[in-house]
Chain A
Amino acid sequence: GAGVSQSPSNKVTEKGKDVELRCDPISGHTALYWYRQSLGQGLEFLIYFQGNSAPDKSGLPSDRFSAERTGGSVSTLTIQRTQQEDSAVYLCASSLAAGLEGEAFFGQGTRLTVV
């Protein structure tokens, strides 16, 4: 596709259930980021994938959160045993990582609501 695609756009889940959020980056982009944004707040860094390097997981808030990137393309963010405080918009971005100047392109995000 032409841009970064995230699915689903909205997800309502019951507390305690697991959820998977998907990000399809722009073809050829080797860098992929996940951020979390609570209502009206800033971007909280979650995880960063850069090519074949080990991902930077330093932003994951707990061991209930995990992410993988298969084949250097599509990424899935998994939240296990969801809690109400996990409710937020989850944003994915990708960029050409070869240079510092590369623009990060964002998806529209997944709005997660835990009830």
Chain B
Amino acid sequence: AQTVTQSQPEMSVQEAETVTLSCTYDTSESNYYLFWYKQPPSRQMILVIRQEAYKQQNATENRFSVNFQKAAKSFSLKISDSQLGDTAMYFCAFRGRNAGNMLTFGGGTRLMVKP
């Protein structure tokens, strides 16, 4: 079974600075997708970024980028130029074929951006 681990329950960062959230996972599959979701205080889950395991190039979406290390099974999220609106819970997620395409989430990291 796939497992996803987020080792940082809480983090904080000053506005305009850069922060990196960690995620590791365990799988025997070779092709899969990894996702980062954001859950602000409004409770609405929003997709931030996704990465296909077969692609070596790290995905980027504006201020959000990932550092995907397939051999190490690591998938960290970097937020550049942090903004107050980035304050949220961030969840790492894995989807592979072995579990019927089911989406498996990590425990989350609560990020606080301070003014």
B103 near A108 with CB under 8 A, answer no
Q: Are B101 and A41 within 8 A (Cβ)?
A: no
Chain B interface SS verdict (over half): strand
User: Which chain A residues lie closer than 8 Å to B102 at the CB level?
Assistant: 33, 45, 48, 50, 56
B44's nearest neighbour on chain A, judged by CB, is A108
Question: Which A residues are CB-close (under 8 A) to B103?
Answer: 33, 93, 95, 104
Question: Which of A42, A45, A56, A101 has the most B CB atoms < 10 Å from its CB?
Answer: A42
Q: Report the Cα distance A93→B45, complex, angstroms.
A: 9
A-B CB contacts (within 8 Å), total count: 58
A104 CB contacts on chain B under 8 angstroms: 35, 45, 47, 93, 103
The docked-state distance in angstroms from the alpha carbon of A75 to that of B45 is 19
Report whether B101 and A50 are in contact in the complex, using a CB–CB cutoff of 8 Å.
yes
When the two chains form their complex, are residues B100 and A43 in contact, meaning their CB atoms are under 8 A apart?
no
**Contact residues on B (Cβ < 8 Å of other chain), bracket:** 20 to 34
Within 8 A of B (CB), among A67-115: 89, 91, 93, 95, 97, 100-101, 103-104, 106, 108-109
Q: Is the CB of B106 within 8 A of A101?
A: no
Closest Cβ–Cβ distance, residue B5 to chain A (whole Å): 11
Task: Please tell me if A52 contacts chain B, counting CB pairs below 8 Å.
Answer: no
| B33 nearest CB across to chain A (Å) | 4
CA distance A33 to B33 in the complex (A): 17
* Contact with A42, one of B32, B47, B95, B107 (Cβ below 8 angstroms): B107
Q: Which of B33, B44, B99, B104 contacts A106 (CB 8 A)?
A: B44
Instruction: Give Cα A33–Cα B20 distance, bound, in whole angstroms.
Output: 28
A43-B91, A91-B45, A109-B43 known; A100+B104 contact, CB < 8 A: no
Least Cβ–Cβ distance between B2 and chain A, in angstroms: 11
Can you list 9 contacts pairing A with B, beta carbon distance less than 8 Å?
Answer: A40-B89, A42-B106, A43-B105, A50-B102, A93-B45, A93-B103, A100-B52, A104-B103, A108-B43
**B contact residues vs A (CB 8 Å cutoff):** 31-33, 35, 43-45, 47, 50, 52, 89, 91, 93, 95-97, 99-108, 110
